[in-house]
Amino acid sequence: MTDRSTLEGFLVLPRARIRYRVLGRGEPIVLLNGGPTLPFDYFLPWVEPLAERHRLVLFDPAGAGASTDAADGRYDLDALVEEVGEVARSLDLGSFHLLGHSAGGFLAQEFALHHPEAVRSLLLLDTFGSTPVANRRLREMLASAPPGARETIRRMEYDGSFHAGEGYDPEYRGAVEQAYAPVSFVDPARAPPELSGILSAIRYPVYRRIWGERGEFVLDGSYSGWDPGPARNRACYPVLVISGRADMPSPEDTVALAASYPRGEAVIFGRSGHYPFIEENRAFLHTVSAFLERAEHGRTPG
């Protein structure tokens, strides 16, 4: 069995002091957190079995988790793409598999498009192909929210009272949680108790720089207008797009994103929401491991 060694600490980069952890040995997989600004802890222990054959590289980007804020104050995709490259160079990764979850999927796609030579394969979990598609789904989620929650959200966004210091007002946050519940977990009993504590670690000042200042149901911050469009047609690396059937991205969004890549394939987990790596962990690990093996040996599915 592969040595499951662990290396962790902080990287001192030009932009920030970055917390990282490396698990296992073998071909590296760099994981990009969602949120945005969630710490990498929510991936664990769910993805750890992949470290039997691969080197898992997790890190908190500037302004997230235990990393410091960005010294230059930038949280746009160009700055974050550069930061991913700095992490990879600091850890001497060479080329690697790149996995992005949720908002981390935006960054994963952008990095791969700018640095295709560094990417062995691209794994996109529970994410979108553009900000306009994400905003459409956010509008649909709000429209489908329970009437009381929907009214609270619209009222508090209209009068600006949803802000409470650096975070959200508790009443607004409760209404948002009701709107997000249907896409989070198909079976709420599968949500690990510790996950809520990890999710509450969002760094709201940075989150709002990235997401936007108008509320939870429109993405109009530093990622506003992001849409790679035809640039994906030039991607030569294999791409796996994963989502849950009840996820934020619809099954149609997932299939369309995979089809936009020449070597893209889509897998939709039928009993999952936004965290198939938790809800259907065994099937998820099997799917990802099989994809990585094909990517490393140049095989195509089927």
Q: Say what the pLDDT of residue 271 is.
A: 97
- What percent of the chain has a predicted confidence (pLDDT) above 70? 97
Q: How confident is the model at residue 4 (pLDDT cuts 50, 70, 90)?
A: low
Would residue 100 count as lying in a domain?
A: yes
Confidence band, pLDDT 50/70/90 cuts, at residue 298: confident
d(CA 34, CA 262): 25
Residue 100 sits in the same domain as residue 141: no
* pLDDT at residue 166, as a whole number: 83
Report yes or no on 201 lying in a domain: no
What is the residue range of 269's domain? Answer: 6-132+223-297
125 inside domain: yes
Mean pLDDT of 22-33: 97
**Domain check: are 102 and 78 in the same one?**
yes
Give the pLDDT confidence score for residue 118 in this predicted structure.
98
Task: Report pTM.
Answer: 0.95
Q: What is the DSSP pairing of strand 27-32 with strand 96-101?
A: parallel
94 and 148 belong to one structural domain:
no
Domain presence at residue 70: yes
d(CA 42, CA 55): 18
Question: How many domains does one find in the chain?
Answer: 2
Query: Phi and psi dihedrals of 106, rounded to 5?
Result: -60, -50
pLDDT in tens, 54-65: 999 999 999 999
- Pair 112, 162 in one domain: no
CA distance 15 to 172: 33
Give pLDDT tens digits for 184-204.
Answer: 999 999 999 999 888 888 999
Whether 123 and 259 map to the same domain: the answer is yes
Residue 302 pLDDT more than 90? no
Residue 270 has pLDDT above 60, yes or no: yes
21 shares its domain with 152:
no
Note the pLDDT of residue 90: 97
In a domain, 208, yes or no: no
Last residue of a domain, one of 149, 175, 192: 192
- Tell me the CB-side half-sphere exposure of residue 270, using CA atoms within 13 A: 0
What pLDDT, on the 0 to 100 scale, is given for residue 1? 33
Percent of the chain with pLDDT over 90: 91
Chain-wide mean pLDDT for the chain?
Answer: 95
According to the model, what pLDDT value does residue 92 have? 96
- Shared domain for 143 and 39, answered yes or no, is no
Residues 243 and 126 in one domain: yes
Name the band, by pLDDT with cuts 50, 70 and 90, for residue 301: low
Q: Do residue 173 and residue 76 come from a single domain?
A: no
pLDDT reported for residue 200: 86
Residue 128 located in a structural domain: yes
169 plus 116 within the same structural domain: no
Flag whether 71 is in a domain: yes
pLDDT digits (tens, 9 = 90+) for 87-144: 999 999 999 999 999 999 999 999 999 999 999 999 999 999 999 999 999 999 999 9
Q: Is 209 part of any domain?
A: no
pLDDT band at 2 (very low <50, low <70, confident <90, very high): very low
Q: Do residue 168 and residue 99 come from a single domain?
A: no
144 and 56 in a common domain: no
Q: Which of 174, 192, 210 is the last residue of a domain?
A: 192
Which CATH number do you get for residue 280? 3.40.50.1820
pLDDT at 300 over 90: no
Q: What is the pLDDT of residue 191?
A: 93
